[in-house]
Chains A and B, each alone.
Chain A
Amino acid sequence: MNLLTPISNLFAGLPGALSQVWFALSRAVLDYSSRLLSICALYYRLLVSTFSERTGWRLMFQEFLKQIYFTSVQGAHVLIFSALMLGLVVNLHATQELTRVQGEEYVGWLLVTIIIREVGPVWAAFFVLLHSGSAITVELGTMAVTREVEALELMGIDPYRYLGVPRFWGLIVSLAVLYVLMALAAVLGGFLISQLFGETFWEKYWGSFLHNLTSMDVALGFSKITSFGGIIATVSIYFGLKAERHLGEVAAYTSKGSLVGLVLVVSLDIILSTAYYL
């Protein structure tokens, strides 16, 4: 018995193919809902177990620093380079199109909208999903398959607390740091390309950007980033610890985790952006 049972009963009387399609569809919906609820439950568990016990803080802090080092330091140069490119492309199109309609003063507004509010957070989140999310899934999946997670359980250490919590907060903090770096790099990239099309003064360019930047933009950007960080970490941990039997499962769950993370990040981005304009 589930929520869809009354509708399933209605479809049970229909001809074979139609009822089969319905049953396949309803099973898929229930599977996805169940998975989504499990991910939400894990998100809650990671938040709660951060503060539920007083033990293990030192070791967890070491894991947290390792996560920040891996995500923010080892991957930063790639994101900064890609952000420079993003800034170049945005400003390339903006200067061409805005000059045509004599709207050069809107460059700052465009940068804020694209870099700070919309594309920037998603860009950074996709980078972290690729760089760290999949790495977390592989690491935890391998640990689960090789019974290292079980070893922790035997020692009386909650794997969600020792392995999950530092990665969860590490990813959130790293994503926030990377977002700031990325925004600065993108603005700089935009400035560099604008030099090709005429003399632009840094003070004027930077001033235009700052003039259009409101606290609401920053708040939206950071609320997106922290939510994305939490979601990516939760999804990666969830799929990592799902692997049990063999290493082939790890590859399958890594791929699944990346896709689910991608869908959830985009969905949340749409929800938050819509909420901003309401």
Chain B
Amino acid sequence: MLHHSLILRELVLAEHPPHWPRPFRLELGLKECLLLEGVALEQAQELVQVAATLKLPQEGEVRLWGRQTAALSRPELFALRRRLACISPRLALLHRLTVAENLVLGPCFFQARTAPAVLEEHSPLLERLELTDLLRAFPPELPDNVAYRVLFARELMKEPELILAVMGPPLTPVDQQRLILPLLQDWQAKKGVAMLLAGRSLRLFTPLAHRLLRFHHGRFLEHYFLEHESRPLETFLPLF
């Protein structure tokens, strides 16, 4: 259990998809990247929110780093959420704050740092997501795909140990290929975070994946990726 970032056990969602296995089980290793493919956007969003403890499942349990989330107190849950990134189209930015204020809110709140210092530290990330020129804009002024990139930046600035993300609209395929995939590849290589990516089609993200669960005819078919040219085999050997 301690070797897992996330365990969803005997899970039944509030809006459980009729064709899904009931109950549903999922385990995600500490540095594993798992793709959950063939999942409709609504279902992916709900699953990710349940895994991030933002929603309660109808049945079953969610364990994050071995801790059963239902048994945690409110402050413990907040502390746990600071260790994970959850990126889903259902989640929002704070509309009355600018993009910059949205991005620095967490670090400023918990580390008592100034906004310019936080932005300076994360400027490479903001440049990679092409957000540098949009820092003074308010979220409602942004197109959906840009707002989603801001959400990505905000969550990655938490330096998470686990990334839960819904891939697909509003991100355009170009955004995914040009901005998100290289970023996640780097993130995986440098920080070795666990990732659960869910969406209708995740072919683009197979270079990241250790495992793929493809939903097909009422079942999840499991595929393992032992090696990939962008993720050589030695990453499986934690020698350092």
Interface of A toward B, CB cutoff 8 Å: 53, 55-59, 143, 146-148, 150-158, 162
- Asked whether A59 lies within 8 Å of B108 as measured between CB atoms, the reply is yes
CA distance A155 to B91 in the complex (A): 11
B106: contacting residue among A57, A150, A156, CB under 8 A: A156
* Residues of A with C-beta under 8 A to B110: 55-56, 156
| Residues of B with C-beta under 8 A to A55 | 109-110, 112
Number of A-B contacts (CB under 8 A): 61
A58 CB contacts on chain B under 8 angstroms: 108, 112
Contact A147 B91 (CB under 8 A): yes
Q: Given A150-B92, A155-B154, 6 more contacts at CB 8 Å?
A: A55-B110, A148-B93, A155-B82, A155-B158, A157-B106, A162-B109
Do A156 and B81 form a contact, CB below 8 Å, given A55-B110, A56-B110, A162-B109?
yes
Assembly CA distance A146 to B108 (angstroms)? 23
Residue in A148, A150, A154, A157 whose CB lies within 8 Å of B109? A157
In chain B between 88 and 108, which residues have their CB closer than 8 angstroms to a CB of chain A? 90-95, 105-106, 108
Chain B residues within an 8 Å CB radius of A153: 54, 78, 81
Is B13 part of the contact surface with A, judged by Cβ < 8 Å?
no
Q: Are the C-beta atoms of A154 and B52 separated by less than 8 Å? A: yes
Task: Give bound CA distance, A53 to B110, whole Å.
Answer: 10
**CA gap between A209 and B75 in the complex, in Å:** 51
Give A154 to B54 CA distance when docked, in angstroms. Answer: 7
Cβ contacts A to B, 23 pairs, < 8 Å: A53-B75, A55-B110, A58-B112, A59-B105, A59-B109, A146-B92, A147-B90, A147-B92, A148-B94, A150-B54, A150-B91, A150-B92, A153-B54, A153-B81, A154-B52, A154-B54, A154-B86, A154-B91, A157-B105, A157-B106, A157-B109, A158-B78, A162-B109
Task: Tell me the complex Cα distance, A143–B94, Å.
Answer: 8
Per-position 1/0 for B107-126, Cβ under 8 A of A? 01110100000000000000
Contact, CB under 8 Å: A158 / B75:
yes
Determine how close the nearest CB of chain A comes to the CB of B112; give it in whole angstroms.
Answer: 6
In this complex, the member of A143, A150, A151, A154 whose beta carbon has the largest number of chain B beta carbons within 10 angstroms is: A154
Measured between beta carbons, the chain A residues less than 8 angstroms from B52 are 154
Q: Kindly report which residue of chain A lies nearest to residue B86, judged by CB atoms.
A: A154
Residue among B78, B81, B90 with most chain A CB within 10 A:
B78
Instruction: Give Cα A158 to B78, complex, Å.
Output: 7
**At the interface, yes or no: B203 with Cβ under 8 Å from chain A?**
no
With both beta carbons as reference points, the residue of chain B lying nearest to A52 in the complex is identified as B75
Query: Which of B86, B92, B108 gathers the greatest number of chain A CB atoms within 10 Å?
Result: B92
A57 to B93, alpha carbons, bound, how many Å? 21
* Residues 53 to 102 of chain B near chain A (Cβ within 8 Å): 54, 74-75, 78-79, 81-82, 86, 90-95
B91 & A151 in contact (Cβ 8 Å cutoff): yes
| Chain B interface residue number, banded | 20 to 34
Complex CA distance for A162 and B101, rounded to whole angstroms: 14
The closest CB in chain B to the CB of A57 belongs to: B112
Which has the most chain B C-beta neighbours within 10 Å: A57, A150, A152? A150
B83 to chain A, nearest CB (A): 8
> In whole angstroms, what is the CA distance A57 to B91 when docked?
26
**CA–CA, A79 and B96, complex, Å:** 28
Cβ of B105: which chain A residues have Cβ within 8 Å of it?
59, 155, 157
Among B103-154, those with CB < 8 Å from A are: 105-106, 108-110, 112, 154
Closest A residue, CB atoms, query B90: A147
Contacts of A157 in B (CB 8 A): 78, 105-106, 109
Chain B residues whose C-beta falls within 8 Å of the C-beta of A154 in the assembled complex? 52, 54, 81, 86, 91, 155
6 pairs of A and B residues whose beta carbons are closest in the complex = A156-B82, A147-B92, A56-B109, A155-B106, A156-B78, A156-B81
Would you give the shortest CB distance from B52 to chain A, in whole angstroms? Answer: 7
B127 to chain A, nearest CB (A): 22
Residues of A close to B109: CB separation below 8 A: 55-56, 59, 155, 157, 162
A125 to B21, CA, bound (A): 56
User: Chain A residues near B154 (CB, 8 Å)?
Assistant: 155
Cα of A152 to Cα of B112 in the assembled complex, Å: 17
B92 interface neighbour in A53, A56, A59, A151, Cβ under 8 Å: A151
Closest to A54 in B: B112
Task: Give the CA-CA distance A53 to B158 in the complex, in Å.
Answer: 19
A253–B109 CA distance with the chains assembled, in angstroms:
29
